[in-house]
Structure 1
Amino acid sequence: MKNIIILIALCLGSHIFAQSDEDILKQIYKSALVEGKSYSWLETLSIDIGGRLSGSLNAERAVEWGKAELDSLGLDKVWLQPVMVPKWVRGAKEFAYIKASSGETTNVNICALGGSVSTNPLGLTAKVIEVKDFEELKRLGEAEVKGKIVFYNRPMQPDLINTFEAYGGCVDQRYMGAVEAAKYGAAGVIVRSMTLSLDDMPHAGSMTYGDLQVSDRIPSAAISTKDANLLSSMLHLDKNLEFYFKQNCKQLKDVKSYNVIGEITGSQFPNDYIIVGGHLDSWDLGDGSHDDGAGIVQSMEVLRLFKTLKIKPKHSIRVVMFMNEENGLRGATEYAKVATTNGENHIMSLESDSGGFTPRGFSFDCSDATFNKVLSWKPLFKPYLIHYFEKGGSGADVGPLKNDTNVTAGLRPDSQRYFDHHHSASDTFDAVNKRELELGAASMASLVYLFDKHGI
């Protein structure tokens, strides 16, 4: 009789502990939605700290905050990984106006692009030449361009459902615009903001001078979409109008910063790693809530969920808060370099850097065999309306970790409103919905759980 009782107890115990994948996902979503910390973390990061441009005081404060919060979760390891990052400062707020031939001026909204040089202390005044792309600029040549401000006015393509595709279709004018215009003797560059919204907010972003000598570099700024339309319409009426802008930005010497890393060590494969992450830095116009505070707190929440639900992973699970994605990708490059030096095997890396909106699914850069395995998990996500499972890009910070055998993935939220806020003053905490943010974190934790349990 005693043996029978023991056998029944063992059977009951095995039933309790051998929970199905469906059961675990239910617990993950419930914990994220009922007792999650991602939203309160984001409030602190956004409101108490604010915009976190690489090399800034706020970036340092964010590093300290991130490490302290990870320490509080009781992870097996938490550490800072040093990395040298660029330090570009905006200086005093930019000022610009359009001056008609009549002498009448109209103020417009601009912001210096990240990495740009300043104008001279009195500002820059010049006639304007409007172009849609580099080919048009080349056709005009030095005869039409020299001494003028090149106005790049190619909007994001509105009929593309994937707004990231629309962004990719026009971001070259922001990043390479100054290099191309300088070839023909341009005095400066004004670029239409990368957004589908029609508003008064200029959107920042990085730009490059390539191999241009310092003496040949020209100031580059973004103009709001409403003011871009105004400038374009005024140019059609008055080819001789002038544009004035003044910006006070400066590139300083590189400074030391850090990636912030926390780890739950794997029980069976401690030297095989699954990572989740986002970038801790942001542009300085808003507080970086969508880009990429959301990805940071969602990634932190993945490890909190594992700890809270007592999920003991087979592989080591890391959260990585990458520094300097916005204007250099130094953090991602350094993390991958150290991982290679240490012989670390990263089997799967998941990034959230597309905003805190409602999650739709994931994109995967992986083999066909692994992708077919992932597709078999779709029914587990169906109750949570997660349906987008596609092969494609992952994220800038996990990109350097990609090899022929592993998986890199990206969380894919609804993208329709993302570029309303991206790199602008409207990227603020109030633009993030608590429930949408928490659903994204739960979806990430669920995917990590399945990769940890079933492998690649």
Structure 2
Amino acid sequence: MRTTLLLLLLVISTPFFAQSEDERQLRAIYDKALTNGKAYDWLNHLSNQIGGRLSGSVQAQQAVDYTREQLDSLGLDRVWLQPVMVPKWVRGTPEFAFIETKPGVTTNVPICALGGSVATPDVGIKANIVEVQGIEDLEKVGRENIEGKIVFYNRPMDPKLISTFASYSGCVDQRYAGAAEAGKFGALGVIVRSVTLRLDDYPHTGSMSYGDTPVSERIPAAAISTKGAELLSTTLKLNPDIKFYFKQNCKQLDDVESYNVIGEIQGSTYPNEVMVVGGHLDSWDLGDGSHDDGAGCVQSMDVLRLLKETGYKPKRTLRVVLFMNEENGLRGGNKYAEVARRKNEKHVFALESDSGGFTPRGFSFNCSDENLKQIQSWAGLFEPYLIHMFVEGYSGADIRPLMDQDLVLAGLRPDSQRYFDHHHAENDTFEHVNKRELELGAATMASLVYLIDKYGTIPNKKIKG
């Protein structure tokens, strides 16, 4: 009877001891991040000493060298560079544009070339302009009203959607495919409203694609600031015969070699099971890429440091990957997945931070229902840190190529309301990153990695999406 009672007490008390252990570990992680974080200092160097890190640029290589050096200093078990060929697109001299209401009467407006666009002729392009609300309007307007003109895509982000990423998804197609589609109707070029909810003078660049359009038939594409778009639209309504002029000097060069930067801590119990945390090291060139995605890179680096310095010895191999070329090709993410499959590596979990360095709210997951339920059962551990979101959803572009049926994919979800104020624009700079918010994100990521490593994932379930 006494033995039975002791066993019963042991069974009852075990979950409480385990819970207390987890609470203590999360508290240690957050304390370390908020009192001795390294992410902000690393980001300061990336942003202010190196700057924008367009794939194939000198700055991108400097970022590779710097982050490798910092990972080496952490005493990880292994740090290495993974070669990957990346596109090299260059912007050239600053773009220029104006609205001409009548000969000699012009108003300058801010534009920037979209990433991957061809240049205008040396003298630029000046033509009448036709406004549409999206690609689907081209057919309605008809070739007879588009040929020889500049197409102006003016669909804004939907302000009614609380998720700004959903709003972004609702209009980004005109940026990505607008030139390819307008070219089929004989357009000379396209101007695209910047994808941001904010009304300002910053044009926002981003990737675009010509699909299978022959090089000789590609037309130039540029983004116009939201204030510029409002002015252009209003002026066009008052006088449909206005002309628009723009000039850009961008160029696509041959691919060059770059690198994913990788560091790892070997697992003590299951070294062949790999857990990845990462962000993309490249950025656009207009700002310094602090939110997109310098923040995600330095947070991911700090995850391994935080776990190491709080004395946690991971069961599984923890790997930080700083991916190259997410912005205009996804070559780094694809190369990492390709090498992992060739080596027959078993990845069980991957977490990406690529939504800015704002206050963390939680995570979205691409995984089985069983894994999602297990993760949601840990929600109480995060409540003291105001982390409440554990939902099914998008994870990240760079880790998605790793997807298979046994893998849990996760994306850090910060508060997104200000993200598209800075996304791909000149004001994506270091002074717009809050040190405490950045450190809270690193601690939140490290906490999830700790729990996944400790309790494992549930295998052999078909992943969604």
Normalised TM-score (structure 2): 0.94
Cα deviation for residue 384 of structure 1 reads 0.1
Aligned position for 1:73? 74
Cα deviation for residue 298 of structure 1 reads 0.2
Aligned position for 2:94? 93
Q: Matched residues in 2 for 1:136 and 1:376: separation? A: 47
Cα deviation for residue 101 of structure 1 reads 2.7
Q: Matched residues in 1 for 2:406 and 2:323: separation? A: 23
Structure 2: which amino acid aligns with 1:380?
A: L
Aligned position for 1:209? 210
Structure 1: which amino acid aligns with 2:105?
A: E
Structure 1: which amino acid aligns with 2:191?
A: I
Q: Tell whether 2:156 aligns with 1:120.
A: no
Deviations 1:58-87 (A, max 9, x none): 000000001000000000000000000000
Q: Tell whether 2:191 aligns with 1:186.
A: no
Query: Is the 8 Å Cα contact of residues 101 and 238 (structure 1) preserved in structure 2?
Result: no
Q: Matched residues in 2 for 1:307 and 1:246: separation? A: 52
Q: Matched residues in 2 for 1:198 and 1:97: separation? A: 19
Deviations 1:272-308 (A, max 9, x none): 0111000000000000000000000000000111221
Secondary structure in 1 matching 2:363? strand
How many residues matched? 442
Q: Matched residues in 2 for 1:59 and 1:396: separation? A: 19
Query: Is the 8 Å Cα contact of residues 148 and 188 (structure 1) preserved in structure 2?
Result: yes
Aligned position for 2:111? 110
Q: Quote the RMSD (CA, aligned, Å).
A: 1.3
Cα deviation for residue 19 of structure 1 reads 6.4
Deviations 1:313-364 (A, max 9, x none): 0000000000000000000000000000011111000000000000000000
Aligned position for 1:232? 233
Q: Which runs of 5+ in 2 are unaligned?
A: 1-16, 458-465
Q: Matched residues in 2 for 1:152 and 1:17: separation? A: 56
Superposed, which structure 2 residues align to 1:341-420 within 5 Å?
Answer: 341-420=342-421
Structure 2: which amino acid aligns with 1:367?
A: S
Superposed, which structure 2 residues align to 1:234-313 within 5 Å?
Answer: 234-313=235-314
Query: Is the 8 Å Cα contact of residues 52 and 288 (structure 1) preserved in structure 2?
Result: yes
Q: Matched residues in 2 for 1:87 and 1:333: separation? A: 17
Query: Is the 8 Å Cα contact of residues 52 and 283 (structure 1) preserved in structure 2?
Result: yes
Q: Matched residues in 1 for 2:456 and 2:357: separation? A: 27
Cα deviation for residue 142 of structure 1 reads 1.1
Cα deviation for residue 102 of structure 1 reads 5.2
Cα deviation for residue 18 of structure 1 reads 11
Secondary structure in 1 matching 2:246? strand
Secondary structure in 1 matching 2:142? helix
Q: Matched residues in 1 for 2:197 and 2:18: separation? A: 50
Q: Matched residues in 1 for 2:269 and 2:19: separation? A: 18
Secondary structure in 1 matching 2:71? helix
Secondary structure in 1 matching 2:428? coil
Q: Matched residues in 1 for 2:141 and 2:448: separation? A: 51
Secondary structure in 2 matching 1:134? coil
Secondary structure in 2 matching 1:26? helix
Q: Out of 116-125 and 17-26, give the one that drifted further.
A: 17-26
Q: Matched residues in 1 for 2:291 and 2:404: separation? A: 29
Aligned position for 1:62? 63
Cα deviation for residue 405 of structure 1 reads 1.7
Structure 1: which amino acid aligns with 2:324?
A: M
Secondary structure in 2 matching 1:296? helix
Secondary structure in 2 matching 1:319? strand
Aligned position for 2:461? none
Cα deviation for residue 206 of structure 1 reads 0.3
Query: Is the 8 Å Cα contact of residues 149 and 190 (structure 1) preserved in structure 2?
Result: yes
Q: Matched residues in 2 for 1:103 and 1:428: separation? A: 37
Q: Matched residues in 2 for 1:345 and 1:310: separation? A: 25
Aligned position for 1:318? 319
Secondary structure in 2 matching 1:130? strand
Q: Tell whether 2:145 aligns with 1:144.
A: yes
Q: Matched residues in 1 for 2:433 and 2:248: separation? A: 31
Cα deviation for residue 103 of structure 1 reads 3.5
Q: Matched residues in 2 for 1:136 and 1:398: separation? A: 34
Aligned position for 2:442? 441
Deviations 1:210-245 (A, max 9, x none): 001111000000000000000000000111100000
Query: Is the 8 Å Cα contact of residues 362 and 411 (structure 1) preserved in structure 2?
Result: yes
Aligned position for 2:340? 339
Deviations 1:34-69 (A, max 9, x none): 001000010001000000000000000000001000
Secondary structure in 1 matching 2:187? coil
Query: Is the 8 Å Cα contact of residues 280 and 323 (structure 1) preserved in structure 2?
Result: yes
Secondary structure in 1 matching 2:449? helix
Secondary structure in 1 matching 2:54? coil
Deviations 1:152-195 (A, max 9, x none): 00000001000000000000000000010000000000000000
Q: Matched residues in 2 for 1:17 and 1:191: separation? A: 54
Secondary structure in 2 matching 1:20? helix
Cα deviation for residue 404 of structure 1 reads 1.2
Q: Matched residues in 1 for 2:315 and 2:399: separation? A: 21
Change (3 A) 1:19 1:316: farther
Q: Matched residues in 1 for 2:18 and 2:203: separation? A: 54
Deviations 1:390-446 (A, max 9, x none): 001100001011111210000000000000000000000000000000000000000
Cα deviation for residue 133 of structure 1 reads 1.3
Secondary structure in 1 matching 2:116? coil
Q: Matched residues in 1 for 2:360 and 2:351: separation? A: 14
Q: Which runs of 5+ in 1 are unaligned?
A: 1-15
Moved over 2 A (4+): 16-19
Structure 1: which amino acid aligns with 2:145?
A: E
Secondary structure in 1 matching 2:206? coil
Q: Matched residues in 1 for 2:355 and 2:404: separation? A: 23
